[in-house]
Amino acid sequence: MSHHRHCLPAVAFSSAYPASELFDNAKEISAAGLSLNVLCQSYPDHQLKRLLDSGTRIRCLFLDPNGSGIRAREAEELYTDGTLTTLTALNITMLTKLRDRLAPDSAERLELHVYDETIRFNILIIDGAKCVVQPYLPQARGVDSPTFVITDNTASDGLFPVFDQVFTDMWKRSKPV
């Protein structure tokens, strides 16, 4: 049984897996985390629009910028100026404005939700085939965390189904924006 996983520092991950390589041909993208910069800052709006217009479903699950979970994470990362709250609110606004400009059927495929919990992982699932997971470590900024790339989606004892279930459960507890 072959399990395909590897771990990279976050900086090496963004070089090895540019956003365009991850998303350009995706039919379904599910993302959960804090501010979802990989989708909101590393991938252009016009490319997101192209995906949505061509039938791609995108589910984004942000840490609620008005919640207590994000304030706890800011304290842990020693931000005193609301940096994470501001960035997350900005990213949500960017995607909301994009959704407002889309045709109705494309707009339905861009689902934006927020949750207010202790943040544990940044999870990105592409086409049910590739899962990128980054743990939120105590005191470490996200860019300092290891990034795990998991492609063992057919192995019932693998990590893929675990993180797929984590995303599904968080989505069920979240609320739409």
pTM: 0.92
> What CATH number is attached to the domain comprising 37?
3.30.870.10
Number of domains in the chain: 1
38: CB partners within 8 A, 6+ apart: 14, 19, 22, 31, 124
Tokens of 34: 């804090």
Residue from 131, 129, 128, 112 nearest 174 by CA: 112
pLDDT in tens, 17-41: 889 999 999 999 999 999 999 999 9
Could you tell me the CA-to-CA distances from 42 to 45, 118, 125 in Å, in that order? Answer: 10, 25, 16
Q: Assign 3-state DSSP to the chain and report helix, strand, coil percentages, each to 5.
A: 40, 25, 35
Give every residue of the chain whose pLDDT is below 70, as ranges: 1-5, 10-11, 140-143
Which domain covers residue 151, as residue numbers?
5-176
